[in-house]
Amino acid sequence: MTILTLHPDRLFPAEPTTRGIARALYAGVKDLPIISPHGHTDPSWFAYDQPFADPAQLLIVPDHYVFRMLYSQGVKLETLGIPTEDGSATATDGRAIWRIFAENYHLFRGTPSRMWLDWVFAEGFGIDVRLEAETADHYYDLIDAALKTPAFRPRALFDRFGIEAIATTESPLDPLDHHRAIRASGWTGRVMTAYRPDPVMDPEAAGFLDNIARFGETAGEDVSTFAGYLRAHRFHRARFREAGATSTDHGHPSAFTADLPRAEAEALYETVRSGKASAAEAELFRGQMLTEMARMSIEDGMVMQLHPGAFRSHNPSVLARFGRDKGADIPMPSEFVRNLKPLLDAYGNDPRLTLILFTLDEDTYSRELAPLAGHYPALRLGPPWWFHDSPEGMRRFRQRATETAGFYNTVGFNDDTRAFLSIPARHDVARRMDCGFLAQLVAEHRLEEDEAHEVARALAYDLAKAAYKL
């Protein structure tokens, strides 16, 4: 067995002077509350505060970062207990799943998953030996036992993690019962929803026509007209704001936007409602709706988030057997300069709009996103996203975006995760990497240390709170 320790200097630059500065900067931000303005935790956890299931169900089965890597090296998803679309059986023995994971833990060397998991093991559960085949059962027993204690209930963890506010993400089709239950419970943790209308805005979404029908019904609006459809959005946005939402989120294939004359938009909606929209018409509708969302954000103050650029469910065999979100979403080249122009022409200069941009195409950081955000008052840059939520990904983001967009056109960190236990680990990685980046600027006399302290705090706390109006 090998010792597991989290080194206090982890992720800081090795050069001693720079490391010393990084340590000092980090000391000033490490205990700041966590603002988690974008993520995918399950609000029912906080509503009902039930214990999490076994270690495998907590840490492996729902984490596509984890099973993706195992799958890439030949581990069958069935043996990891990933549920199937047709309900046919897969592994259910948490201990057996955990052993496979432990035997293959070396595959995660050099990945952020490894750092997050080690944090969960060491800080979360107090484990002091490394995960490997021979410690698999030790881990399983220890985590399983801990999960049965009150200290590992969701609300206890929420407090322990120092979460000041956390956003979940729901579709307009969601009744928001869990969020209502949270409020009704008297518990004071701040859990907000966010408005994610993809299922009713993307004509290519599964069940789109049914979705807009239900969307209209629950809003009490006739969605057979574009006007009624837009009113239904206003209704649901208001409903979400009542459940604490301060933001909307849009996961589109591209950053394409449009701002059609009203009659054309209405005709397009007709086509879309007929179920016969072509791929190009579907893209046009999504683009038009982003501009409509911007218009509504100007009215109601909700911050917009745009997450473009994933080829979803690239692997049809995995999709057919295991469904969506199984680690087979692959980034594509993204374009922002022409795609965002219609929306920006309309509202890019409007101080009432905040549009936060994310990308999976790092090439756009210095070429497109930083120049755009360094000019348009409405634009801000989200943190490195998904595959780039990683030490090297964060370093590249700061290196490429800062000189043109500065720090103040960015919005701090988002964890974007449903892996609740990893949230503090992820924020900690971000704080450490930002402090390391700032320490380098200080050590190279490109920024003064007193200013670096201010920026470190902004990146860890202030900017997220301000940008998301929390």
CA angle in degrees (0–180, nearest 5) for 195-420-389: 75
Interacting residue with its own copies among 60, 328, 353, 456 (CB under 8 A): 328
Question: What number of chain residues touch its own copies (CB under 8 A)?
Answer: 94
For residue 425, give both structure tokens: 């680990």
DSSP 8-state symbol, 247 = E
Q: CA angle 434-437-438, nearest 5°?
A: 85
Please say which residue, 329 or 416, places its beta carbon nearer to its own copies: 329
From the list 14-22, 177-185, 209-217, 294-302, the region that binds its own copies by CB under 8 A is 14-22
Query: By CB under 8 A, is residue 128 in contact with its own copies?
Result: no
Is residue 106 at the binding interface for its own copies, with CB under 8 A as the rule?
yes
Least Å distance, CB 64 to its own copies, is: 9
Cβ-based nearer residue to its own copies, 39 or 327? 327
Beta carbon of residue 382, minimum distance to its own copies (angstroms, whole number): 16
Q: What is the contact mask toward its own copies in residues 363 to 402, using x (rule: CB under 8 A)?
A: x--xxx-xxxxxxxx-x-------xx-xxxx--x--xx-x
Amino acid residing at 43: P
CB 107 within 8 A of CB 136: no
Which residue's CB is nearer to its own copies, number 18 or number 288? 18
Measured from the CB atom, is 18 or 41 closer to its own copies? 18
DSSP 8-state class, residue 453: H
The span of 103-111, 197-205, 232-240, 261-269 binding its own copies (CB under 8 A) equals 103-111
- Candidates 44, 79, 111, 225; binder of its own copies (CB under 8 A) is 111
Closest approach of its own copies to the CB of residue 406, in Å:
5
In the region spanning residues 337 to 366, those forming contacts with its own copies, defined by CB under 8 A, are 337-338, 341, 344-345, 348-349, 351, 360-363, 366
User: Is residue 445 within the footprint of its own copies (CB under 8 A)?
Assistant: yes
Binders of its own copies among residues 406 to 435 (CB under 8 A) are: 406-409
With CB under 8 A as the contact rule, the residue among 110, 162, 175, 220 that binds its own copies is 110
321 touches 85 (CB < 8 A)? yes
- Tokens 């209308």 belong to residue: 197
For residue 82, the 8-state DSSP code is P
Taking the complex as a whole, how short is the minimal distance between the CB of residue 364 and its own copies, in angstroms?
Answer: 9
Task: Give the three-state DSSP class for 65.
Answer: helix
Q: Which is nearer to its own copies, 234 or 396 (CB)?
A: 396
Contact 269, 243 (CB under 8 A): no
**DSSP code, position 369:** I
Percentages helix, strand, coil for the chain, rounded to the nearest 5?
A: 55, 5, 40
Q: Which stretch binds its own copies (CB under 8 A): 63-71, 167-175, 233-241, 284-292?
A: 63-71
Residue 142 CB, nearest distance to its own copies (Å)?
Answer: 20
What H or E segment, with its residue span, contains residue 199?
A: helix 198-201
Under the binding rule (CB under 8 A), the answer on residue 108 touching its own copies is yes
Identified binder of its own copies from the candidate list 281, 325, 454, 462, rule CB under 8 A: 454
Tokens describing residue 292:
């409509």
One of 137, 177, 403, 469 touching its own copies (CB under 8 A): 403
Q: What are phi and psi of 194, to 5 degrees?
A: -140, 145
Q: Is 17 near its own copies (CB under 8 A)?
A: yes
Q: Pick from 285, 291, 289: which is nearest to 343 by CA?
A: 291
Asked whether the beta carbons of 205 and 173 are under 8 A apart, the reply is no
What does the block give as tokens for 275?
């179920």
Cβ at position 278, least distance to its own copies in Å: 18
Residues in the chain: 470
Radius of gyration for the chain, computed over Cα atoms and rounded to the nearest angstrom: 23
| Structure-token pair, residue 226 | 């574009």
The verdict on 25 binding its own copies (CB under 8 A) reads no
Q: Does 202 bind its own copies (CB under 8 A)?
A: no
Contact with its own copies (CB under 8 A) among 404, 457, 462, 465: 404
CA 334 to chain centre: 18
